[in-house]
Amino acid sequence: MIGYQPPAPRVGSKYTGYIDAAKIAKMIRADIKAAKTNGDLPHDIKTSVRTRKYAGGQAVDVTITGWNAEAVWAPDHTLTTAARYVKRTVEAIRSAYNRDASDPMVDYFDVTYYGGTDWGVYPWEGVSS
């Protein structure tokens, strides 16, 4: 791969260096609470922020609940506009503390933490056509 330049690391807006996943989870919980207070997130959602540690890494997962499946999923099993907004907002909060210097082109993965953001209800749980 002559002339190949690896991508520049992507750094979250609140990244200050390596922090343990448990501390990151605590900061994410506080940020979600603040977002609900200032109106960036609806007050009726609930979130579960969990951490995982394993050989070679750590993960922070956020599950969003508090809405029924019909509020989250459209009849075609895509997220509703409101659910998409909430998920993107929570994902931005979750990723703000991360640094990603991965290069999938050469199968190299280097992040502060892995994880994801998802809804705790699924389309087959009560969506009517």
- Mind listing the pLDDT tens digit for each residue in 16-54? 999 999 999 999 999 999 999 999 999 999 999 999 999
Q: Which amino acid is at 105?
A: M
Average pLDDT, the chain: 91
* Region 81-107 average pLDDT: 93
Q: Would the pLDDT of 60 be above 50?
A: yes
- Enter the tokens of residue 80: 């509703």
CB-neighbour burial class of residue 16 (10 A; exposed 0-12, middle 13-18, buried 19+): exposed
Alpha-carbon separation of residue 62 from 43, 45, 58, 117, 126 (angstroms): 16, 12, 14, 5, 22
Percentage, residues of the chain above pLDDT 70: 95
Look at residue 129 in the predicted model and tell me its pLDDT: 47
Report the alpha-carbon distance of residue 90 to residue 95 in Å, rounded: 9
pTM of the model: 0.88
CB-neighbour burial class of residue 4 (10 A; exposed 0-12, middle 13-18, buried 19+): exposed
In the numeric block, the tokens 């029924």 are attached to: 68
Identify which of 90, 93, 43, 51 has the alpha carbon closest to the alpha carbon of residue 67: 43
More confident of the two residues 109 and 126: 109
